[in-house]
């Protein structure tokens, strides 16, 4: 299963519209979509290591634009979104994010932008809490930019050499990742 998905993603990474797909995924992930753009950025950099910085820039720029959309959703549509947050069982996560903003302010955005945490929760919460927009954008730019440029640089440096090994063990990597995600969700819900 994961070998097929991996091979498909590698093929898509060479598609003539691949950069547009990467931009779109980066945009929607920061505001409402659950899949991070790394799943497309990494194979694109493996397939085209010389374009790694361009791909990281595209990912960062469109992620920031999506973060601004998430901020606006939080600012203007949170009342409509709040029941959905509770219905999906994310109220604890949302309350945790709000608590972190209360404790650390805008610094949370910088850390969240770099981390694998669901960034959309932070962008929506920032808008709902009416955090200052310019520091929000700067924090997002630094956090997300650091993450995507680091990923692109590491993959361009080591990816082509380890790609055959990744492909050989992709089933194991995929299932271990799924198990880790299930464990994290179970822990966060508990």
Eight-state DSSP code of residue 115: S
pLDDT number for residue 12: 75
For residue 118, count other CB atoms closer than 10 A to its CB: 18
| Each residue's pLDDT expressed in tens, for the chain with a length of 190 residues | 667 766 777 777 778 899 999 999 899 999 887 778 888 888 888 888 899 999 999 999 999 999 999 999 999 999 998 898 888 777 887 888 888 888 888 888 888 887 666 788 899 999 999 999 999 999 999 999 998 999 899 889 887 777 777 667 667 766 776 677 667 667 656 5
What gap in Å lies between CA 54 and CA 41, rounded to an integer?
Answer: 11
Eight-state DSSP code of residue 91: H
**8 A C-beta contact, residue 41 and residue 151:** yes
pLDDT number for residue 63: 96
- Quick one: CA torsion of 128, 132, 135, 140, rounded to 10 degrees? 20
pLDDT number for residue 102: 85
What gap in Å lies between CA 67 and CA 102, rounded to an integer?
Answer: 19
Pick the closest to residue 13 from 177, 165, 163 (CA basis). 163
DSSP string, 69-80: HHHHHHHHHHHH
Pick the closest to residue 147 from 13, 15, 26, 47 (CA basis). 26
Our CA angle for 93, 176, 89, nearest 5°, is 20
- Tell me the pTM: 0.79
Domain that holds residue 169: 2-189
**8 A C-beta contact, residue 101 and residue 65:** no
How many separate domains does the chain show? 1
């Amino acid at each position: 299963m994961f070998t097929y998905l991996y091979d498909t993603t590698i093929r898509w990474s060479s598609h003539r519209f691949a950069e547009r797909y990467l931009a779109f995924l980066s945009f929607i992930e920061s505001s409402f979509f659950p899949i991070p753009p790394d799943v497309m950025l990494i194979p694109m950099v493996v397939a085209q290591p010389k374009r790694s910085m361009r791909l990281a820039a595209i990912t960062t720029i469109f992620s920031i634009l999506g973060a601004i959309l998430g901020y606006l959703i939080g600012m203007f549509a949170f009342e409509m979104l709040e029941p959905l947050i509770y219905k999906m069982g994310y109220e604890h996560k949302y309350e945790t994010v709000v608590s972190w903003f209360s404790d650390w302010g805008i610094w949370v955005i910088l850390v969240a932008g770099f981390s694998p945490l669901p960034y959309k929760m932070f962008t929506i919460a920032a808008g709902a809490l009416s955090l200052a927009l310019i520091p929000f954008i700067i924090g997002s730019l630094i956090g997300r930019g650091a993450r995507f440029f680091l990923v692109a640089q590491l993959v361009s440096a080591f990816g082509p050499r380890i790609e055959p090994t990744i492909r050989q063990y992709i089933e194991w990597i995929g299932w271990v990742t799924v198990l880790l995600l299930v464990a994290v969700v179970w822990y966060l819900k508990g």
